[in-house]
Amino acid sequence: MNRLFIEGKTQGPHPPISKNMPPKAGSIAWSRSIMGRISKPIKKFKSKADQLMTKTFKDAALEYVKLAKELDQGYEKVIFEKWREENTSKAIELLKKYILSWKKVGDNIEYSVQFEPQLKVIIREAKFLDRIGKRIPQTIINIALQEKDYMKYIDKLNQLLRGYNSALSYLKPVEKKLLEKQIDKLNKWMDKGAQNHNWFSLSINEYIKECQQAIDSFIEIKNRVIQKAGNIEEKVLNIENCQIINQIDFDRKTTMDISEFSKYFEDY
């Protein structure tokens, strides 16, 4: 068991753990599984009083105490204390990030939801560590209790961004030029998510609602502009394709009489 423990500690960043468990909680669960496996034979030894004073048992008992202490104080406690110290302040730092980030892609602005994956790991770790009896800092407990709210915000924000991208996609260069002021106005509403609102904000729902109204207003104006631009384009094409002067048949062998000549010029 001692060899198994040493091999596990040196096997990459963390020992072999269950797929559904986060790294730190999984490492502690692994060390406790070793503890459980070595405690069973010790209990059997204790049930046999006549063997308790033998040298073999004494040596085994010393090894058990040594390994148990190493598992509890030298491994489990160190992992948890380090996790608690690093992540209590880290979680607050991550929640202070704005709910949206943006970058320039050509002439367009691309927004994305900014909820750090590391924050999800911290919440998962807190849940598992709490289940195995660890005292989780109150700050992280409060964050974990709001996980459902964060997930709802993320879903709503992603839905909002899909609507925003759909509203601005497939615009022709001339249409973008015509809608330049409206696009700037819409982006000012969206920018608030990348400038004013972080995950501590109490008005995220209000922000989403205001942005959705701005998107709906933009779409309404865009549809009117596209419709009018289509009408103008259709009229220009009609003018371009219309025949103002009829072509004269220069290959005609006979001359027009007076009535035919008069009718030709009345029509054309």
Determine the pLDDT at residue 183: 96
Determine the pLDDT at residue 242: 62
Determine the pLDDT at residue 23: 83
Quick check: is 261 in a domain?
no
Quick check: is 125 in a domain?
yes
Same domain? For 107 and 208 the reply is yes
* pTM for this predicted structure: 0.71
Of 94, 119, 150, the last residue of a domain is: 94
Determine the pLDDT at residue 7: 43
Same domain? For 118 and 157 the reply is yes
Same domain? For 66 and 198 the reply is no
Same domain? For 108 and 234 the reply is yes
Quick check: is 247 in a domain?
no
Same domain? For 48 and 127 the reply is no
| 65 Cβ neighbours under 8 A, 6+ residues apart | none
Quick check: is 257 in a domain?
no
Same domain? For 121 and 74 the reply is no
Q: Which domain holds residue 58?
A: 2-94
Buried b (16+ CB within 10 A) or exposed e, 178-207: bbeeebeebbebbbbbbeebebebeebeeb
Of 40, 68, 94, the last residue of a domain is: 94
Same domain? For 42 and 128 the reply is no
Helix-helix angle 2-9:23-46, to 10 degrees: 170
Of 38, 59, 94, the last residue of a domain is: 94
Determine the pLDDT at residue 209: 97
Same domain? For 112 and 207 the reply is yes
- DSSP string of 113-153? E---HHHHHHHHHHHHHHHTT----HHHHHHHHTHHHHHHH
Quick check: is 232 in a domain?
yes
Quick check: is 250 in a domain?
no
Query: Nearest 5°: phi and psi at 182?
Result: -65, -35
Quick check: is 252 in a domain?
no
Determine the pLDDT at residue 22: 84
Same domain? For 121 and 140 the reply is yes
* Residue 103, strand partner residues: 110
Quick check: is 205 in a domain?
yes
Determine the pLDDT at residue 6: 45
Same domain? For 114 and 215 the reply is yes
Same domain? For 47 and 129 the reply is no
Overall number of domains in the chain: 2
Determine the pLDDT at residue 259: 78
Same domain? For 115 and 192 the reply is yes
Determine the pLDDT at residue 170: 86
Query: pLDDT by residue for the chain (268 residues), tens digit each?
Result: 444 444 444 444 555 666 777 888 888 877 777 766 666 665 655 565 555 556 666 666 666 666 666 666 667 788 888 999 999 999 999 999 999 999 998 888 999 999 999 999 999 999 999 988 889 999 999 999 999 999 999 999 999 999 999 999 888 888 898 899 999 999 999 999 999 999 999 999 999 999 999 999 999 999 988 887 766 666 677 666 665 555 655 566 666 677 776 776 666 5
Buried b (16+ CB within 10 A) or exposed e, 146-173: eeeebeebbebbeebbebbeebbeebee
Helix or strand or coil: residue 1?
A: coil
| 110 Cβ neighbours under 8 A, 6+ residues apart | 102, 103, 104
